[in-house]
Amino acid sequence: MSHRLFVAVRPSEPVIDALIDMMDGVENARWQDETQLHLTLRYIGEVDTPLAEDIAAALGRVRAAPFALTLRGVGHFARGDWPSAIWADVAASPELAALQKKVERALVMAGCAPETRRFTPHVTLARLNRSSGLVGPWLAAHGGLSAGPMRVDHLTLYESTLTRSGSHYEPVVRYALRA
């Protein structure tokens, strides 16, 4: 059996509320719903059950003390000249960077291929396509975003299932952070 996995941190309820309040104003954007909001530490992708079990065990050995994060500002990703997603930016955090590196090491030791993309901490708010409206006015209106701080005291291994209406994320294992 195949599992589509990723490791993430879920924002606190007050931060989620702040994000939901700003999720409007770009025509034909596919806004994330409340259950989809997360900060991906590592996308793993499709793996078989034995590797999924090894991943779950390896993540259980990650040690990091709880810490605080703040969201500051917004941005977008593009494919070529066209915006593909808008997101909330995560303020620089040495603790988050260290946690992400520990997660990456654990996954490689479990048998995952190393990640080649640079870690860009963000919370995706909407997915866009060529029928979506202009993002510039939205980015300008919400560029002053400041949400948090929020306490990060756990990380979660999620399984993602693709459906006609988008991705559905199911928490598989939650790992408490402790030094």
Strands (E), 36-165: 39-48, 67-79, 82-90, 122-127, 146-152, 154-163
Report residue 35 as tokens.
């259950």
Query: How far is Cα 91 from Cα 54, in angstroms, rounded to an integer?
Result: 32
Contact between 5 and 106 under an 8 Å Cβ cutoff? The reply is: no
Pick the catalytic residue from 3, 76, 122, 142: 122
| DSSP category for residue 99 | H
Active site residue 122: yes
Pick the catalytic residue from 38, 76, 142, 154: 38
Catalytic residues: 38, 122
